[in-house]
């Protein structure tokens, strides 16, 4: 039984209130988590503020970069500890965590350390009426204490995606991980201490959202900026909280992402890529695909082949090499996803495969397993084609023309990501430009260069992160004008 504590001012702490951490694959209690109250959150923010004005704020960029590289190296040294934390928190197959989540988590610190080390400044000479002239140059300064509100679906990867640039830019942070996935954030506290990150630079407060740690943090007057990944309604609530004090927000929110498969695609690649984009991490990926549009001449073949591929996915324990899919994160989330499964049938969907709960071995029947599901036959106005489900499911519909499918793909309140499968180069550029999404993959999915801009359009978010684009949020740009 693990005890997962808050990490405040370089020390692990608990104030007496605890909640259980359950394993999603069998529903058993695997630990208890210290819940942060208002006083804990206040202590964490004050520690972060003190570090900002003290030892962390006095470090040179070079010294800060060296420390972030040391954080990455320590993560890699404790690689299996982070793998175990992610496996038991989210139940995702270990091979994905080993190849994506933990390596990316370490890379996030190195990439943004390099960005801040190499970012150019601005310098302008300006004429003045007296002929002596003036010089202008820019400085980047941290925005202050950054509240980092993390989701549960890829907890370590998405937490470090924010921590890397925030800390590289000289900010201090208070992290509020999801109550469902607390372990990696607590483990990272050990890493920070091991490599000598000054006390108060990195803090973790565990707990829930409204009238709890999340609200206490986002409404704290000494928090200078808020970065959030999660569902859209929570993001809207955070925007309202940030309005008090006119604090900047970076929001990566929901998605109802579309894939467009043209008849001239590489069918094998399109099937493999769509299988991943719909069903990776049990469909709990904000960038995943829930709407698939397939050009009519290949529609039936595509449905049949994707069905066959899905039915080969074997649910199992995350450490089992043969496991092709883990469980959903919680019982409540499974209730939500199953309600959409029922709604699809009520609205007239044809269930190609799945649609329910798999029959698991006795030891795993307490877990939150669900069948990967494919539907056809629904109109674009159907509920399951409008609302984000966040489960292992997709609807496949035929289309006839490029113009038609673009209208249908864009007819949605979200605009996070899209995937396009085609062998036509001219079409690639036309369609990618026309899609209303922050990210468009062509003949691939989840292929990420960390230097590129990341973020959503419409109700999928505000702002861009990645490479130098992260600096726009995590720093204040100051101009210095010197009269000669």
Distance CA 144, CA 419 (A): 37
Contact 313, 307 (CB under 8 A): no
Order of strands, sheet of 172-176, starting from the edge strand that comes earlier in the sequence: 11-13, 6-8, 202-204, 172-176, 145-149, 225-229, 249-252, 461-462
Within 46-144, strands assigned E span 123-126, 134-142
Catalytic hit among 215, 252, 290, 295: 252
Look up 286 and say whether it is catalytic: yes
Contact 390, 334 (CB under 8 A): no
Tokens of residue 418, six digits: 């899209």
Tokens of residue 346, six digits: 């009520």
Distance CA 242, CA 214 (A): 13
Contact 182, 18 (CB under 8 A): no
Q: Comparing C-alpha atoms, which of 286, 292, 293 is closest to residue 439?
A: 286
Kindly report the number of other CB atoms within 10 A of residue 142's CB atom.
21
Q: Comparing C-alpha atoms, which of 7, 362, 331, 23 is closest to residue 189?
A: 7
Cβ-proximal residues to 176 (8 Å cutoff; 6+ apart), any chain: 147, 148, 149, 150, 204, 205, 206, 207, 213, 214, 217
Q: Comparing C-alpha atoms, which of 303, 311, 271 is closest to residue 377?
A: 303
Tokens of residue 445, six digits: 């999915």
The backbone torsions φ and ψ at residue 439, rounded to the nearest 5 degrees and listed phi first, read: -135, 130
Query: What three-state secondary structure class fits 228?
Result: strand
Catalytic hit among 150, 169, 265, 286: 286
Distance CA 462, CA 235 (A): 10
Instruction: Write out the catalytic residue numbers.
Output: 252, 286
């Amino acid at each position: 039984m693990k005890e997962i504590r808050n990490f405040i001012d370089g020390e692990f702490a608990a104030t007496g209130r605890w909640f259980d951490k359950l394993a999603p694959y069998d529903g058993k209690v695997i630990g208890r988590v210290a819940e942060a109250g208002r006083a804990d959150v206040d202590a964490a923010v004050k520690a972060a503020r003190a570090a900002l004005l003290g030892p962390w704020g006095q470090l040179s960029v070079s010294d800060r970069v060296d420390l972030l590289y040391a954080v990455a190296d320590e993560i890699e040294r404790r690689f299996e500890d982070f793998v175990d934390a992610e496996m038991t928190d989210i139940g995702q197959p270990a091979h994905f965590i080993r190849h994506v989540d933990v390596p990316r988590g370490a890379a996030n610190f190195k990439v943004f350390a390099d960005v801040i080390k190499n970012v150019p400044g601005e310098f302008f000479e300006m004429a003045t009426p007296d002929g002596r002239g003036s010089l202008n140059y820019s400085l980047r300064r941290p925005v202050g204490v950054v509240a980092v509100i993390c989701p549960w679906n890829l907890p370590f990867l998405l937490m470090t995606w924010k921590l890397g640039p925030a800390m590289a830019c000289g900010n201090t942070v208070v992290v509020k991980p999801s109550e469902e996935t607390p372990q990696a954030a607590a483990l990272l506290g050990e890493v920070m201490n091991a490599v000598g990150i000054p006390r108060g630079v990195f803090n973790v407060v565990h707990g829930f959202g409204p009238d709890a740690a999340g609200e206490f943090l986002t409404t704290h007057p000494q928090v200078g900026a808020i970065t959030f990944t999660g569902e859209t309604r929570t993001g809207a609530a955070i925007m309202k909280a940030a309005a008090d004090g006119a604090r900047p927000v970076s929001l990566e929110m929901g998605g109802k992402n579309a894939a467009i498969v043209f008849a001239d695609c590489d069918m094998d690649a399109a099937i493999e890529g769509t299988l991943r984009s719909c069903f990776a991490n049990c469909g709990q990926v904000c960038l995943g695909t829930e709407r698939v549009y397939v050009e009519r001449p290949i529609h039936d073949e595509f449905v049949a082949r994707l069905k066959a591929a899905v039915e080969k996915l074997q649910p199992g324990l995350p450490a089992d090499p043969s496991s092709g899919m883990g469980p959903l994160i919680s019982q409540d989330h499974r209730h939500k996803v199953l309600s959409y499964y029922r709604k699809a049938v009520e609205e007239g969907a044809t269930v190609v495969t799945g649609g329910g709960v798999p029959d698991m071995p006795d030891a795993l029947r307490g877990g939150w397993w669900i069948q990967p599901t494919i539907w056809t036959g629904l109109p674009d106005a159907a509920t399951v084609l409008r609302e984000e489900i966040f489960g292992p499911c997709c609807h496949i519909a035929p289309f006839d023309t490029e113009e038609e499918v673009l209208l249908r793909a864009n007819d949605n309140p979200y605009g996070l990501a899209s995937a396009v499968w085609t062998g036509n180069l001219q079409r690639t550029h036309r369609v990618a430009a026309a899609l209303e999404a922050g990210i468009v993959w062509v003949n691939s999915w989840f292929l990420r260069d960390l230097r590129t801009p990341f973020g959503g359009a419409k109700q999928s978010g505000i702002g861009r992160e990645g490479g130098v684009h992260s600096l726009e949020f995590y720093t204040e740009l100051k101009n210095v004008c010197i009269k000669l």
